[in-house]
Amino acid sequence: MQELDRIGQKYIDRFIARRISKLRYKSKQKKLKFNLTAEHLKAIYPKDNKCPALKTDFNFFGDYKTKPTIDRIIPENGYVNGNVVWVSQQANLIMSCAHPSDVIRVGKYAEKIFKKTYPFNIK
């Protein structure tokens, strides 16, 4: 929450307004439904300022992969209320190209390889 306190509500409001503008344009280009509002995006923003997928803190200014982004739960349903969540850029990239079962399988494989290569680093 320190990040949010530090940057202030005005910055958050501008950030969300820019996101809505970009998502509206993207929806039009891809012929997707769009009905998001700033109020809705503020209401669904994680209260703890953490990515719900990776449990990492969102960071508006630091590492690009921790920046908050909007992800469509069912991509073909568009950017509509009930079909979007806030996640980090990294989580969004991981989820954007694969089915959840594929993401899990790749994660298990990566963990297996990591344990074999770096057995002393696995908790």
Round to whole Å and give the CA distance between 108 and 76: 28
In percent, the amount of the chain with pLDDT more than 90 equals 54
* pLDDT for the residue 54: 92
Prediction pTM value: 0.79
What tokens does 4 get? 């949010």
What tokens does 47 get? 């209260």
In this prediction, residue 110 has a pLDDT band, given cuts at 50, 70 and 90, of: confident
* pLDDT score of 102 more than 70: yes
- Strand segments, DSSP code E, in 73-111 are 84-88
Domain boundaries, the chain: 2-98
95 vs 69 pLDDT, higher one: 69
In percent, the amount of the chain with pLDDT more than 70 equals 90
* pLDDT for the residue 19: 93
In this prediction, residue 2 has a pLDDT band, given cuts at 50, 70 and 90, of: low
Q: What are phi and psi of 84, to 5 degrees?
A: -130, 150
Q: What is the pLDDT of residues 35-89, one digit of tens each?
A: 999 999 999 999 898 999 999 999 888 788 999 999 999 889 999 999 999 999 9
7 residue type, one letter: I
